[in-house]
């Protein structure tokens, strides 16, 4: 190569080098992330938990820096930090992008949101002031699976439910097609979870529309039942043939669980509380006979009131005393002062009936008297009439000539008994599917007749006897 060409080549080589040097001197450097929070790239959190994200970045060129925030590629805001609550059980990608006007430098976090059952156990143990003795298996089922299970379980109790249906018809509070169908529908659509006392596991009924707040509160409720069982042996406490006592006991158990479920709920974040009520407010009404709904819901509503009163009068610790000596009548549930005083109803003797088969015999109690009257009368009238209850027994008989119901009740005073009779007569006239006519009235005896049967009401001092049947001639069997 000639010297001239070499000089020319050197010049050509130097020129690009000089240009590169000029370009390098004036080029913009990308921002550098020197710190970020949270430090971990993958974070596991609870639903509704607030997380604050921040990025500390520098720029060699002293350019103004801007940080844009994205969740799952959706732009949220431009700010130095992001505070966000994650309300769904899923995985999220949070991305903060540092921008100097030319370069974008991303910082990425993976957020895993899931319910922590063990943490809820710790929380419920603390607020209920009881310890779990062991962990309990937990599983989730669909509402369709719940329906299949209930259909099978209640089919095994079909004879018992048919007997109960007969008794309800004899009390003039049932005129629907099938008690079994109503009960299955009520539980299938109304149950969000349950604790199995036999299998010792709790089950959550899950469906796509259910948000984490509902799941967590349901778990809190069922975990309270687990605490009850592990500390008080629920099955042994529920061993009674007395229907009124059984309702009183279930009111204590459900009232306890409902009270501390509410305690747990209102300690949650505002978003969680809003989600909880949005879910229930959006649900369609469960279409069942009002009687079924009233009977099923009594332990939850009035049990909650009972437990609230007990805790308000004493403290949470006092519940241990209550479980050691639980209420024995629904009168004590409805009137906690009668629980404190230990007031119990009289033990009533059934009336002897000859030549008829005894199908069912038990105690209604104040709760069922109130609920029965409430089917045809105003609630405040029904509730007032049921107050003053002091014991009862009913007996349901059948023979080839029909059925006979005998209901014998005692009241705190003759005035209470008289007020109950007056209200019960209003109840008879209000029965929507049967028109009864008063045919006799003398010395505290009232006899009503209809095309399909009769009702006899008898008042003697503080006791009221009610007979109802298909034919008044059946009274001849009563001794």
What 3-state DSSP class applies to 192?
coil
* Whole-angstrom distance, CA of residue 474 vs CA of residue 381: 31
State phi, psi for 15 to the nearest 5 degrees.
-60, -50
pLDDT at residue 93 in the model: 97
Residue entry with tokens 């913009």:
28
Strand 104-113 with 42-45, pairing: parallel
**What DSSP line would sit under 267-329, residue for residue?**
TS-HHHHHHHHHHHHHSPPP-S-HHHHHHHHHHHHHHHHHHHHHHHHS-TTHHHHHHHS---S
Torsion sign across C-alpha atoms 262, 268, 269, 275: negative
pLDDT at residue 57 in the model: 95
Buried residues in 34-53 as b, exposed as e (16+ CB within 10 A):
eebeeeeeebebbbbbebeb
Structure tokens at 218: 């349901």
Give the model's confidence band at 436: pLDDT under 50 very low, under 70 low, under 90 confident, else very high: very high
pLDDT at residue 141 in the model: 94
Range of weakest confidence among 24-33, 257-266, 365-374, 431-440 = 24-33
Give the model's confidence band at 479: pLDDT under 50 very low, under 70 low, under 90 confident, else very high: confident
Q: 365: phi > 0 → left, psi -120 to 50 → alpha, else beta; which? A: left
pLDDT at residue 26 in the model: 52
Strands across the sheet containing 193-196? 138-142, 201-206, 193-196
DSSP letter assigned to residue 35: E
**365 within 8 A of 389, measured Cβ to Cβ:** yes
* Whole-angstrom distance, CA of residue 127 vs CA of residue 119: 13
Structure tokens at 281: 């407010």
Q: What is the pLDDT averaged over residues 12-25?
A: 34
CA 261 to chain centre: 8
Positions of E strands within 46-118: 49-58, 66-71, 74-78, 81-86, 91-99, 104-113
Percent of the chain with pLDDT over 90: 87
Strands across the sheet containing 81-86? 32-37, 49-58, 81-86
Residue 79 has pLDDT above 80, yes or no: yes
DSSP letter assigned to residue 227: H
Range of weakest confidence among 5-9, 213-217, 323-327 = 5-9
Q: What is the pLDDT averaged over residues 73-93?
A: 95
Residue 417 has pLDDT above 90, yes or no: yes
Torsion sign across C-alpha atoms 464, 470, 475, 479: negative
Which stretches of 325-378 are DSSP H helices?
A: 330-334, 336-341, 365-374
Q: Determine if the pTM surpasses 0.95.
A: no
* Short-list 70, 69, 57, CA closest to 30: 57
Range of weakest confidence among 201-210, 305-314, 424-433 = 201-210
Strand 389-399 with 402-411, pairing: antiparallel
DSSP letter assigned to residue 239: -
Close Cβ partners of 115 (under 8 Å, ≥ 6 residues apart): 46, 47, 89, 212, 215, 216, 219
Give the model's confidence band at 16: pLDDT under 50 very low, under 70 low, under 90 confident, else very high: very low
Percent of the chain with pLDDT over 70: 95
Strand 91-99 with 66-71, pairing: antiparallel
**260 within 8 A of 224, measured Cβ to Cβ:** yes
**256 within 8 A of 220, measured Cβ to Cβ:** no
* Whole-angstrom distance, CA of residue 177 vs CA of residue 162: 11
* Whole-angstrom distance, CA of residue 386 vs CA of residue 242: 18
Give the model's confidence band at 1: pLDDT under 50 very low, under 70 low, under 90 confident, else very high: very low
Positions of E strands within 363-401: 389-399
Higher pLDDT, 242 or 15: 242
Residue 208 has pLDDT above 90, yes or no: no
For 260-272, write each residue's pLDDT tens digit: 999 999 999 999 9
For 288-323, write each residue's pLDDT tens digit: 999 999 999 999 999 999 999 999 999 999 999 999
Residue 412 has pLDDT above 70, yes or no: yes
Close Cβ partners of 62 (under 8 Å, ≥ 6 residues apart): none
Strand 463-469 with 453-460, pairing: antiparallel
Residue 94 has pLDDT above 70, yes or no: yes
Mean residue pLDDT of the chain comes to 92
Close Cβ partners of 255 (under 8 Å, ≥ 6 residues apart): 299, 300, 302, 303, 304, 305, 306, 307, 308, 333
State phi, psi for 125 to the nearest 5 degrees.
-60, -40
Residue 166 has pLDDT above 80, yes or no: yes
* Whole-angstrom distance, CA of residue 19 vs CA of residue 25: 10
* Whole-angstrom distance, CA of residue 392 vs CA of residue 56: 76
Q: What is the pLDDT averaged over residues 233-259?
A: 97
Residue entry with tokens 């450097």:
29
């Amino acid at each position: 190569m000639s010297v001239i060409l070499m000089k020319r080549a050197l010049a050509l080589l130097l020129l690009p080098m000089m240009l590169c040097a000029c370009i390098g001197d004036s080029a913009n450097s990308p921002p550098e992330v020197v710190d970020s929070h949270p430090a971990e790239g993958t974070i596991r959190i609870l639903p509704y938990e607030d997380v604050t994200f921040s990025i500390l970045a520098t720029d060699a060129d002293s350019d103004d820096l801007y940080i844009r925030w994205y969740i799952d590629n959706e732009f949220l805001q431009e700010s130095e930090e992001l505070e966000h609550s994650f309300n769904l059980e899923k995985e999220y990608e949070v991305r903060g992008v540092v921008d100097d006007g030319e370069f974008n430098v991303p910082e990425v976090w993976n957020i895993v949101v899931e319910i922590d059952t063990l943490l809820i156990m710790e929380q419920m143990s603390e607020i209920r002031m009881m310890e779990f003795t062991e962990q309990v298996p937990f599983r989730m089922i669909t509402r369709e699976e719940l329906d299949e299970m209930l259909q099978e379980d209640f089919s095994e109790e079909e004879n018992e439910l048919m007997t109960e249906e007969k008794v309800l018809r004899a009390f003039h509070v049932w005129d629907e097609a099938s008690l079994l169908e109503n009960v299955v529908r009520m539980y299938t659509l109304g149950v969000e979870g349950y604790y199995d006392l036999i299998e010792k596991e709790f089950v959550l009924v899950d469906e796509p529309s259910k948000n984490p707040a509902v799941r967590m509160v349901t778990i809190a409720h069922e975990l309270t039942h687990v605490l009850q069982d592990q500390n008080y042996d629920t099955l042994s406490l529920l061993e009674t043939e007395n229907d009124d006592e059984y309702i009183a006991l279930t009111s204590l158990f459900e009232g306890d669980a409902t009270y501390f479920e509410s305690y747990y709920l209102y300690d949650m974040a505002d978003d969680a509380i809003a989600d909880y009520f949005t879910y229930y407010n959006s649900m369609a009404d469960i279409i069942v006979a009002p009687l079924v709904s009233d009977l099923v819901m009594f332990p939850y509503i009035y049990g909650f009131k009972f437990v609230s009163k007990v805790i308000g009068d004493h403290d949470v610790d006092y519940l241990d005393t209550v479980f050691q000596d639980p209420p024995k009548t629904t009168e004590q549930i409805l009137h906690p002062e009668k629980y404190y005083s230990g007031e119990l109803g009289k033990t009533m003797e059934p009336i002897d009936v000859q030549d008829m088969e005894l199908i069912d015999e038990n105690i209604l109690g104040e709760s069922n008297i109130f609920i029965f009257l409430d089917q045809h009368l105003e609630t405040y009238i029904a509730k007032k009439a049921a107050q003053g209850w002091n014991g009862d027994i009913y007996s349901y008989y059948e023979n080839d000539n029909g059925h006979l119901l005998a209901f014998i009740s005692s009241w705190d005073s003759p005035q209470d008994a008289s007020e109950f009779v007056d209200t019960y007569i209003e109840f008879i006239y209000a029965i929507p599917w049967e028109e009864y006519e008063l045919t006799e009235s003398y010395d505290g005896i009232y006899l009503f007749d209809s095309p399909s049967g009769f009702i006899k009401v008898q008042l003697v001092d503080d006791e009221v006897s009610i007979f109802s049947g298909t034919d008044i001639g059946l009274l001849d069997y009563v001794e």
